[in-house]
Amino acid sequence: MNIHIELTKRGNAMTETAETASDFIRDIIDADIRADKNGGRVITRFPPEPNGCLHIGHAKSICLNFGVAADYKGCCHLRMDDTNPAKEEVEYVDSIKQDVRWLGFDWGKHLHYASDYFGKLYDYAVELIRKGKAYACALGTEEFKGYRGSPDKPGKESPWRNRSPEESLELFRRMRAGEFEEGAYVIRAKIDMNSPNAHMRDPVIFRIKKAEHHRTGGAWVVYPMYDFAHCLSDSIEGITHSICTLEFEVHRPLYDWILNELGARHPQQIEFSRLNLTYTVMSKRKLIELVKDGRVSGWDDPRLPTISGLRRRGYTPASIREFARRVGVTKFEGFTDIALLEHCIRDELNKTAPRVMVVQRPLKVVLENYPAGQVEEMECVNNPEDQSMGVRKVPFSRELYIERDDFEENPRKDFFRLAPGREARLRYGYIVKCVSAPKDPQTGEISELRCVYNPATRGGNVPDGRKVKGAIHWVSAAHAVDVQIRLYDRLFTVERPEENEAVDFKTHLNPCSLEVLMGKAEPLMGQAKAGSRYQFERKGYFFADPVESVSGAPVFNLIVTLKDTWAKIAKRGG
Ligand code: ATP
Ligand code: MG
């Protein structure tokens, strides 16, 4: 059983067991199958609006919709919800398809576009008007607001509400023919201006919009509204379970009303809570702002929670699916700790990524008593978690590099690495002792360490049984290859950058979310293949950037450090 801890809006740790084989949605489907509803079929859909790239929240929905379909041997449609011509672009359609495929899902023949149904949706609106269930309304935007009422005040009926169906039909025809300016008329469903649910107060179902559509071009100047298009698209495609996020719960009466009035095939809408993740933002509007303002390098910036960003960072599809599984499906609104996402990729790479030694901030070490010109091949284990991954040879010589912060001039009591007069073990090498740390006279910075090595301590051997606590990584200076390393940190400095609407979320951007270093790596890394993943010993998991790495000069993205904050949280909560 997995313990899943969700931090609630109030920040309390709340534990919940998620044996994700089942959840409330699968329970509903089980009951439907038992009752032989839909002839036992399960057809779901993932309906993104192609007005931005997908993010990890969408991944939750993708894993759920495609996962449910797979569990019940049904199918899941990919439907571009492209009813708003002004905001949508072809490049987003392509990136959405790429992302869903990359996550490991297949829509088969079922790639659909809401825009394919514009004709049918027009006809459905005509039918509603004919039945006296919709009308052409001429209230201007400002007047419209006045008539709408407020949550505690009923709305007012439009003076056009009771015009005859014939008149409305004629106006709708002329709207479609392009005879009116935008906003001159809208088609509204005739429901109930007194409804406590604002979505039921004669909602607009069609409007005039004189914009080119990326698929239908200039064929239409009237476009359906989301609520009208969505339920009917579901119905046209024969969707059985229309799974969406909780904010659509208040739209459900309208979803049902439209399908009932039209006597259309009626999928069941089921809502679940959306994914919110700490230290990031997920609204497309905000992501677009970061991309357009150049606050990040693009939609695939490795700091973004977009699927393309996570892919570029080095996340695997399996780790994201595992994350979605562990988050589970509930109706609780809450925040998921980003540490859980990091835990999932760390957990996978711990088993699969080969270990290598890479020094990020090099400090030269000269072993005074090691023969100049001598090179030893040290045998290193590729992955202690998986002996089948074997061993490799790493050259060792008189001049090495270690991390600058593995030396301290004035060490604290609990510092177990190198310091003047102190010993440390070079992993897979020898125990060395620092004899001096000369400084650059100009900068005052330590320029190198002069050390002596103990020839009897090769490969971890300690002849006199002494304890040498610190084991540090190193590379041979003469053999090392230069590698660019990009250390990524969280994009925001606060857990919930969107919490306070009065404060621009961008003020919480982490100014240190990217640090670029030139490091020294063991020779093998010169041949690191773009797109491969490694554990840099003692540092973290890294990904050879698939775009910028060139043969012989890899660029590494930090995927995640080795520090597992999630394990700590889980222990505390569990
Ligand atoms: P945004 O609010 O950021 O613009 P959206 O919800 O409008 O996003 P859509 O493209 O309409 O984005 O979403 C497609 C599907 O993904 C919808 O079914 C939506 O419910 C689901 N989805 C979007 N965000 C999340 C999330 N954070 N968690 C789970 N599902 C999500
Ligand atoms: Mg949406």
For ligand 1, is residue 50 a contact (CB within 6 Å)? Answer: no
* Ligand 1 atom nearest 276 alpha carbon: 27
Q: What is the pLDDT of residue 72?
A: 96
* Ligand 1 atom nearest 274 alpha carbon: 28
Strands 423-426 and 471-472: parallel
Cα 48 to ligand 2 centre (Å): 7
Shortest-distance ligand to the CA of residue 50: 1
For ligand 1, is residue 369 a contact (CB within 6 Å)? Answer: no
pTM: 0.92
DSSP code, position 515:
E
**86 vs 216: CA distance, rounded Å:** 12
572 is catalytic: no
Cα 389 to ligand 2 centre (Å): 45
Angle between helices 317-327 and 56-71 (to 10 degrees): 80
Q: Which helix (H) or strand (E) holds 481?
A: strand 481-488
For ligand 1, is residue 245 a contact (CB within 6 Å)? Answer: yes
> Nearest residue CA, atom 13 of ligand 1?
48
Smallest CA-to-CA distance from 558 within 317, 337, 348, 303 is with 303
Q: What is the pLDDT of residue 21?
A: 60
The C-alpha angle with vertex 526 and arms to 520 and 527, in degrees rounded to 5, equals 150
For 91-108, write each residue's pLDDT tens digit. 999 999 999 999 999 999
For ligand 1, is residue 247 a contact (CB within 6 Å)? Answer: no
For ligand 1, is residue 48 a contact (CB within 6 Å)? Answer: yes
Shortest-distance ligand to the CA of residue 78: 1
Contact status, residue 337 vs residue 279, Cβ threshold 8 Å: no
For ligand 1, is residue 249 a contact (CB within 6 Å)? Answer: no
3-state secondary structure 197-226: CHHHCCCEEEEECCCCECCCECCCCEEECH
284 is catalytic: yes
* Ligand 1 atom nearest 60 alpha carbon: 29
For ligand 1, is residue 79 a contact (CB within 6 Å)? Answer: no
> Nearest residue CA, atom 22 of ligand 1?
58
For 338-368, write each residue's pLDDT tens digit. 999 999 999 999 999 999 999 999 999 999 9
Q: In the chain, which stretches have pLDDT less than 70? A: 1-21, 572-574
* Ligand 1 atom nearest 286 alpha carbon: 3
Q: What is the pLDDT of residue 477?
A: 98
> Nearest residue CA, atom 27 of ligand 1?
57
Catalytic residue among 274, 295, 393, 458: 274
Shortest-distance ligand to the CA of residue 272: 1
CA 489 to chain CA centroid, Å, is 15
**218 vs 309: CA distance, rounded Å:** 34
Cα 103 to ligand 2 centre (Å): 20
Contact status, residue 346 vs residue 313, Cβ threshold 8 Å: no
> Nearest residue CA, atom 9 of ligand 1?
48
Cα 245 to ligand 2 centre (Å): 10
Domain architecture of the chain: domains with CATH: 2-112+273-345 (3.40.50.620), 358-473 (2.40.240.10)
* Ligand 1 atom nearest 51 alpha carbon: 10
Cα 272 to ligand 2 centre (Å): 15
Cα 419 to ligand 2 centre (Å): 58
Q: What is the pLDDT of residue 87?
A: 75
Cα 134 to ligand 2 centre (Å): 24
Catalytic residue among 37, 41, 49, 174: 49
333 is catalytic: no
